[in-house]
Structure formats: C-alpha cells, structure tokens
Amino acid sequence: MARAVAPGHRAMVYTHQESQGGNTHNHIVICAVNQENGKKLDDHGFLWRARQQSNELTKERGLSVIHERTAALRYTQAERGLIDKGVQPWKDEIREVIDHAKQECRNVEDFKAYLQRHGIEINERGSRTEKGGKSWTYKHPDGGKVRGAKLGEEYTRSAVTESLSMEKSHETALEQVEQLQAGSSSALEKALQMADDAGKKEQEKFAALELEEKTQEPDEWRHLSEMEKDDIKYDLSTIDDYGLGR
C-alpha cells in the first residue's frame, strides 16, 4: 500500500499487538522525501487516498471493507457514497486539515490560524456545549458547514484542546529532559576543569620545588666562609681553562 500511495518514498511497517482482547494492526511510517527525485510528499488528500487504497487492497484479497460508525470518526451515508465513487468528501478535507493542525500547533490560537490559512473557519456555538464549553462548527472554503461532533469525537472543541494540551505537555517534558542533560554535561565539564586546574597547580608546585633544589647550595658548602667559596670557584675555573677538568 505504501508503494501505491507514495511511490519513490521509503516506508517501514510496524505490527502492533495490543493487549488481550485488542486487535492486531499495522502502522506504516513513510519518509516524506522522495528517494528518486528529492521532492517532498504531496500530503494534500493523502489520508483519503491511503484509505481508498487500503479499501481496494482489502477487496482484492476477498476481505470486507469495514465502514464502522465509530465515535472518533463518523461518515454519513452520503459521504460513503462519494467515497465509493472515488470522490473525496468535503468533510474529509476538513478532517485532514484538522489532523495536520493538531500535530503542528500547541495552542488554540495557533490551531485556528492554521485552519484559517487553509480556508477553514471555526464558529463557536453557544446553544450546544461540550463539557461546559461552546461547541465548534467548521466552515469549508466552499461554504459547507459541519459541527465537530458530526465529523467525529476527535474533532470536537474539547477533544482538540485536550490534544493540543497533551502535545504541549510532551514538548515541555522533552525540554526538561534536554535541560537536565545540558546541566549534567555542564557539571561534568566543570568537574573536568577543576581537575585540570588542580593538575596544573600540582605541576607548578613541583616545578617550584625542583627550581628551589637546583638553586640551593650543597650541604658541603654551607659551613664554608665566603672567602673559601671564592677560592674553590677560582680553582675550578682555572682547571676548566686549562682543560684539566675534561
């Protein structure tokens, strides 16, 4: 299926085995960059194309296509009719933009701005409430309007705001981890610097002691007078001049 919906793009398939009673299913991860021409994947209508391709492969293998009216995603009979004809419903276009916005945005203001850039408006309805707040109605660029609950529970105001909050919390947690890692790295660098400074001080101390030993007079000289020291130095220089010390 990945080759059909994203030709030229590398993909990996992960099989997810849920807990007891759950359904075994696959996740497909597709690289956004085309390996043949370097172009970015055209994601306009991608989810719809992928769903269509999945349904076709299902039929080819003699399996039945499941049109489940789930709370998370709801299709009307008219939408199903369009999908069967290979036409993407305008409501599906709204769903797709919302899905992308929830991944890209971290607050409601950015979410609304993202939808507006794609020609979709959000109107708040006071007559119907969602968990104590106003419900959202989405307006398609062509003029069609639909309440979030009609698209599916994942597209209601409360579900969207909760999703944005979770994404923000996730980012905050990652930032905290990065800060801790940076702090640990800084502490390690500080410890290494302290050890390096201590080593340099030891080297300087050793060099000072060595210099002191070199400049210190031998014990045999300490009991001699200055005149006797001068006589010995004279004798040594004389011997050296005649080469007798070599």
If we measure between CA atoms, which residue out of 76, 75, 13, 3 comes closest to residue 35?
A: 3
SS3 28: strand
In this structure, what token pair is assigned to residue 172? 């905050």
**pTM confidence score:** 0.44
Q: 155, 95 in Cβ contact below 8 A?
A: yes
Q: Find which of 87-96, 112-121, 152-161 is predicted with most confidence, using mean pLDDT.
A: 112-121
Position 13 confidence tier, pLDDT thresholds 50, 70, 90: confident
In this structure, what token pair is assigned to residue 108? 């409601």
Per-residue pLDDT tens digits for 55-73:
888 888 888 776 554 456 6
Distance between CA atoms of residues 121 and 94, nearest Å: 10
Polymer length of the chain: 246
Decide which of 73 and 93 is more confident: 93
Per-residue pLDDT tens digits for 175-226:
666 666 666 566 667 767 776 777 777 777 666 666 666 555 555 555 556 6
Residue 233 scores a pLDDT above 60:
no
Q: In what order do the strands lie in the sheet with 133-139?
A: 121-130, 133-139, 145-147
Dihedral of CA atoms 78, 97, 117, 115 in degrees, nearest 10, equals 90
If we measure between CA atoms, which residue out of 129, 166, 164 comes closest to residue 148?
A: 129
